[in-house]
Structure 1
Amino acid sequence: MAENKTKETTASVAEFLNSVPDETKRTDSFKLVQIMEDQTGLKAKMWGPAIVGFGSGHYKYASGREGDMPLVAFSPRKAEISLYLMQEPVEKEKLLASFGKYKAGKGCIYIKKLQDVDEGVLREMITATVSYVKSKYGAVS
């Protein structure tokens, strides 16, 4: 079975974020660290070369594939910021209705800048994600 490529590393979150070329994305990324740390009570850590994650949970699918993942995470990509927020689908749709400007992918939400979204709703989404992941996968750290 293939090994999960995205693992927690010891790389510096600040160094990574300071290397983001776009000033708005860089500023938004530092703000996201603050928001996610506030909502989760967990410190930011690098997951792979480009994902900033908070906490860790172990998942196991019916197929037998298993691994570790951050509870919540984001990545400042070239075109937009990817938010990794796993939620119960009905709750997710309810929150997204008042979130602001975004695009939804299969496993993430894409935003251009924090100014485009409602910070209060983002905070609710982060809290909902932590609750959902804990209920779905059990113990997390």
Structure 2
Amino acid sequence: MSANAEVAAFLETVTPERRFREAAHLDRLFQETTGWQPQFWRGGMLGYGTYDYTYKSGRTGTWFATGFAPRKAKLSVYIMPGYADFGHILSGLGKHKIGKSCLYINKLEDVDLDVLKRLIRAGLEDLATRWPVQPT
């Protein structure tokens, strides 16, 4: 199965209907903002761009540069490596909660999509100062 077919097949499984529409909207937003095509990652995540990392512990790997997961309860938006430096952007985003590298949104209509785009770009710029980011 091609990467595009895998992403399309995954998006078709997203429920409920409102979450499916939001996932399709986020996919377009991420593609427009990054210029990259999505890839399906384990755990039901769509990633845009990749980077190879090496931690101080010596652990290495490859992960997506930014992306999202359309969970039933909330949308999870991933900005790597985290949100520590983005308070000035998050203050204008709208209703959300944050984790270490994850932004939780109940409904897409709760946030300002232009601010979300700024946050995605800022996250990618920050990530690129740590590890080279490759397009997908």
Whether TM exceeds 0.5 here: the answer is: yes
- Per the TM alignment, residue 95 of structure 1 is displaced from its structure 2 partner at its CA by 0.8
Quick one: distance in 1 between partners of 2:17 and 2:89? 28
Describe the superposition over 1:37-74 as per-residue Cα deviations: whole angstroms up to 9, x where unpaired: 01111001101140000011111110111111111110
Quick one: distance in 2 between partners of 1:139 and 1:126? 13
Structure 2 partner of 1:116: 110
Counterparts in 2 of 1:16 and 1:94: CA distance versus 1, 3 Å? same
* Percent identity of equivalent pairs: 34
User: Which secondary structure state, in structure 2, belongs to the residue aligned with residue 56 of structure 1?
Assistant: strand
- Residue 70 in 1 paired to residue 64 in 2? yes
- Per the TM alignment, residue 139 of structure 1 is displaced from its structure 2 partner at its CA by 4.4
Structure 2 gaps of 5+ residues are none
Structure 2 partner of 1:100: 94
Structure 1 gaps of 5+ residues are 1-8
Paired residues for 1:1-141 under 5 Å:
10=3, 12-86=6-80, 87=82, 89-90=84-85, 92-141=86-135
Quick one: distance in 2 between partners of 1:48 and 1:68? 13
User: Which secondary structure state, in structure 2, belongs to the residue aligned with residue 55 of structure 1?
Assistant: strand
Tell me the amino acid that sits aligned with residue 88 of structure 2.
K
Q: CA RMSD in A?
A: 1.6
Quick one: distance in 1 between partners of 2:43 and 2:84? 29
Q: Answer whether contact 1:88 1:132 (CA < 8 A) is retained.
A: no
- Per the TM alignment, residue 140 of structure 1 is displaced from its structure 2 partner at its CA by 2.4
Alignment coverage as a number of residue pairs:
132
In proportion to residue count, which structure has more strand? 2
Quick one: distance in 2 between partners of 1:139 and 1:43? 14
Counterparts in 2 of 1:134 and 1:101: CA distance versus 1, 3 Å? same
Describe the superposition over 1:67-101 as per-residue Cα deviations: whole angstroms up to 9, x where unpaired: 111111100112101000125623x1111101001
Q: Answer whether contact 2:127 2:133 (CA < 8 A) is retained.
A: no
Q: Answer whether contact 2:34 2:48 (CA < 8 A) is retained.
A: yes
Q: Normalising by structure 2, report the TM-score.
A: 0.90
User: Which secondary structure state, in structure 2, belongs to the residue aligned with residue 53 of structure 1?
Assistant: strand
Query: Which 4+ stretches in 1 moved above 6 angstroms?
Result: none
